Amino acid sequence: MEAPLGIVGKIKVFAELLKTRLSLLVVFSAGFGFILSSSGSIISIDFSKLAFLLVGGFCLTGAANILNQVFEKDLDILMKRTANRPLPSERLTINEALSFSLILATVGFLILISRVNVFSAFLTLISLILYAFCYTPMKRVSPFAVLVGAFPGAMPPLIGWVANTNSINVEALTIFGLQFIWQFPHFWAIAWVLDEDYKRAGFRLLPSSGGRNTKTAFQIMIYTLFLIPLGLLPTKFGIVGINSAIITTVCGVLFLGQTFYLMKVGTDKAARQIMFGSFIYLPIVQITFMLDKM
């Protein structure tokens, strides 16, 4: 029997349960939306409201990640990638995880509703519900889970925009749409690489009857292709300048090139390149837009 965790060890396990790196990436996207919606230069940004958005968003994102792990505890045991998570490894109990999730969700929602605005608070809550209670159970039912999961996955920049403006307009939907479409090559590349692991848990995330085949590679290519015109819309609507359009187009073309390679060879290595390419594409585009805006 393993020795009980000390206070420091317990804190580390709770941080692991939060999926801290993923949660930070999510709130980065929310901050991106907030900054992009600002009408003036960087000095006009309400940094106090931005800070509350990031803290509240981090809490609610962490709460959603914990609920996901609670619901999938028995499935995580079956997969090599997740078997050592805090719940399947029994370093934390279900009750501890649920209590932590409830505290985080409550604190995060109260911060957003009191220090940011009601609209962004409810959008964040909807995102949590879609992720934890719709996408999570649907992963074993249908590949359409990826479509459902794309909505909460694309919400952060929209929430950031709403946090600053208290409204949704075509510009806000543009940055939402870009991140929404990005979800598909991102998710499918991960599902391709982890297909064997996912099958152990009964997850059905790949399109085309769940196969690692040319049809799946073609769909990955089509969605990646859409990123190129979508990446130009923020410039068309005057959110950012021509420099962003050029850099985003170059990134989109390079990303697209990886999908053609997957269609040609159909290997895990090619899918892994797309997976890492997706991790690089989105932050580069978001940082480019923010620098152009500033």
What sign results for the dihedral spanned by CA atoms 244, 246, 251, 253? Answer: positive
pLDDT tens across 90-126, in order?
999 999 999 999 999 999 999 999 999 999 999 999 9
pLDDT tens across 127-161, in order?
999 999 999 999 998 889 999 999 999 999 999 99
Helix (H, G, I), strand (E, B) or coil at 172: helix
pLDDT tens across 25-42, in order?
999 999 999 999 987 666
Residue linked to tokens 């085949």? 213
Residues 51, 126: Cα–Cα separation, whole Å:
21
pLDDT of residue 40: 67
pLDDT tens across 38-75, in order?
876 666 789 999 999 999 999 999 999 999 999 999 99
- Does residue 264 have a pLDDT over 90? yes
Which residue from 16, 18, 74, 26 is spatially nearest to 283, judged by alpha carbons?
A: 26
Q: What are phi and psi of 283, to 5 degrees?
A: -65, -35
Q: Tell me what percent of the residues of the chain surpass a pLDDT of 70.
A: 96
- Does residue 172 have a pLDDT over 90? yes
Residues 146, 188: Cα–Cα separation, whole Å:
8
What is the overall mean pLDDT for the chain? 92
Task: Name the residue type at position 246.
Answer: I
- Does residue 209 have a pLDDT over 80? no
Q: Tell me what percent of the residues of the chain surpass a pLDDT of 90.
A: 79
| Span 5-14, average pLDDT | 81
Residues 66, 253: Cα–Cα separation, whole Å:
36
> 292 falls in which pLDDT band (50, 70, 90)?
confident
- Does residue 3 have a pLDDT over 60? no
Q: What are phi and psi of 211, to 5 degrees?
A: -95, 145
pLDDT of residue 1: 41
DSSP one-letter string for 70-117 = HHTHHHHTTSTTTTTSTTTTTSS-HHHHHHHHHHHHHHHHHHIIIII-
Residues 116, 64: Cα–Cα separation, whole Å:
20
pLDDT of residue 171: 94
pLDDT of residue 293: 77
Give the pTM. 0.93
Q: Cβ distance 239 to 174 under 8 Å?
A: yes
